[in-house]
Homo-oligomer: A and B are copies of this chain.
Amino acid sequence: MGTDARMTRQRFLRISSRATAAFQGELGAFSQRAAINIFGPRVDPLPCVAFDGVFEKVMKGEAAVGVIPIENSLAGSIYQNFDLLAQHSLEAIAETYVRIEHHLIADPSSNFGRIRKIYSHPVALAQCRRFLKRLKRIEEISFYDTAGSVKYIREQGLKDAAAIASADAARIYRMKILRRGIEDNRENYTRFLALARKGAFRPGGAKTTVVFGLRNEPGALFKALSVFALRNIDLTKIESRPIHGKPWEYLFYLDLHSDVGSRECRNALRHLQEMTLYFKILGSYKTY
């Protein structure tokens, strides 16, 4: 744990009596690893079945923070979480990156030759396509979660099944790694955001995320981006999502390399609001 993580954890423990981080998936999920990156190893994990459950736990105060994946370097944005960010009034307070390394995991008493079924999340299965293609007579089974598939094989006592998941999941459920690093592409990273209720943390950090809607008129997006280009503020990401009930109109999500506390960022966002129909700062935060 670096100094930054320790400081965040201290701030975090100070503001909350229960140092609990909600995330989607079972214990050993990559999201839990992200929570540890940010808040340190003593953070209390609160597994949730679905992403909207993570938002709800934080909204209700059952968890001090929630940790959600927002983008994978291969699969792209996790669009559902962009929509949930716009729908809820939570604040992004930190980001971190986790290298996604997939392992083939089975019961300690099993071995590679006995495996006939492989369970995992469909995105993980897709990211191990080359490895899976080489196997014969194997059935792939889509599961709601990578770590959850390890837990399932353990609980069911399956000896002819393996799961694709993290090393953390293998350790937590005391299972054996049969094959390491079976992902097709090693440039496989997921970016996570930590979320908290508004005002729980003092905002600030090198990155700021905003969401806005524009009038549907020529040049609207170009003009919106000009407020950052004119002030040499770098964009690291743009995403668009449909607005329900207004076909072919979009909300735009921008990540800026700028602290919301800086004069240039404040000026750019004020300028932006001259042309937006809807505008919200989703957070200004540090990278862990």
Contact = CB atoms under 8 A, between A and B. Distances in A.
B238 A240 contact: yes
Contacts of A187: 244-247
Contacts of A74: 242, 244
Interface string A210-246: 0000000011011101101100111111111110111
A124 to B, nearest CB: 16
Copies of this subunit: 2
Q: Which of A189, A222, A223, A226 has the most CB of B within 10 A?
A: A222
A247 B76 contact: no
Interface string A81-93: 0000000000000
A112 interface: no
Main secondary structure of the interface of A (DSSP, over half): mixed
Interface residues on A, range: 35 or more
A229 B234 contact: no
B232 A221 contact: no
Contacts of A241: 76
A267 interface: no
A131 interface: no
Given A73-B248, A76-B79, A239 B240 contact: yes
A262 interface: no
A236 B248 contact: yes
A73 B237 CA distance: 22
Interface string A181-197: 00001010100000000
Given A76-B241, A242-B73, A234 B218 contact: yes
A230 to B, nearest CB: 9
Q: What are the nearest 8 A-B pairs in CB distance?
A: A73-B247, A222-B229, A218-B234, A222-B225, A219-B229, A76-B242, A187-B245, A189-B247
Given A73-B248, A239-B240, 11 more contacts: A74-B244, A75-B242, A185-B244, A185-B245, A218-B232, A218-B233, A222-B225, A222-B228, A222-B229, A225-B225, A238-B240
